[in-house]
Every structure is written in C-alpha cells, then in structure tokens.
Amino acid sequence: MNLDYITLQEEIVSKIENFQSITLATSFGNKVTARTMSIVNDGLIILFQTGAHSEKAQQMRNNPNIAFAAQNMQIEAVAQICGHPNESQIFIEKYKSKYPQYYAQYTDTPDEILITVKPKKISLYKYIDGKPCIDILNVTENRAYREVLV
C-alpha cells in the first residue's frame, strides 16, 4: 500500500528529533558492533560526533554502511566523515542545545570527528487495525509504502 512520502517523512523527522539516544551498528570484516549514541538531525540527515580513533570510526572508514535502531524505528544508512564537529554550525547549534554536557566535555577535543549520515531506508514498525505492519520510507527511491506482516 502506497503512503504519502512527505507525511511519513515528517513523522520520522519528529521522532528522530525527540530521541535522546539511538543505537548505532557498524561493521567491518566479520565483526559487527553496536553502541548507544547521542545524535542530532537536520531533517532526515543525522549527525553525531565520535573519537577519530574509536572502533566505530575505524569501521565506518572501511565500511560506511551503518544502521540505527530506536523504539520502533530502524534506519539503514551511509555514513560520511566530515572533519571536526566545530566545522559545522548546524551541528554545533543543535548539539550544544540538546546535549550541553557532552558538548562541553567532548566537542572541542582535537580527536573528535563529525559523522554525517544519509538514510537510504527507514522502517517504522506499527500495529494498525490489530495487524503488524511496517511503514517504509525508501529515501533512495523517493517512495513511501506500508507492508502488512500477516
């Protein structure tokens, strides 16, 4: 069943803005790891900072395909390393406002890097009329639709 792309996108953006944390999964070789992250977003674009020498940074350098999960949402995406967090005014404004303690503790350290994430596919798991469903925003194909899982 087709859905309105803009309506589903707005629902997803609202949910992402309200997440205080999200689970990030990265992988390289035969190793997959996951950890909780503090993120901000600019529409569907997700931004976060991390240490340049962290395991997740090393994995993303070698394999930029990542995933996020929080509540009923799953995001398949591509990560890009974008220099130091202080180089992005959008990130600084949003991160400092949402996480002032993390901003003060980590952002100015020289080892920090900014990661910009572009979603390819976002899935929202729901129950509609008592049936399990997935609302899917396929960003790559600019398409929104619902799959009933029964």
pTM of the entire predicted model: 0.94
pLDDT band at 95 (very low <50, low <70, confident <90, very high): very high
Condensed to tens digits (0 to 9), the pLDDT of residues 13-63 reads: 999 999 999 999 999 999 999 999 999 999 999 999 999 999 999 999 999
Q: What average pLDDT score do residues 130-150 get?
A: 96
Residue 77: the pLDDT is 98
Instruction: Give yes or no for residue 150 having a pLDDT over 90.
Output: no
Residue 68: the pLDDT is 98
If phi > 0 it is left, if psi is from -120 to 50 it is alpha, else beta; for residue 81 that is beta
Question: Which residue ranges make up each domain of the chain?
Answer: 5-121
Residue 44: the pLDDT is 98
- The CATH code for residues 5-121 is 2.30.110.10
Q: What average pLDDT score do residues 102-131 get?
A: 96
Give the mean pLDDT of the chain.
Answer: 97
Residue 26: what residue type? Answer: T
Residue 15: the pLDDT is 97
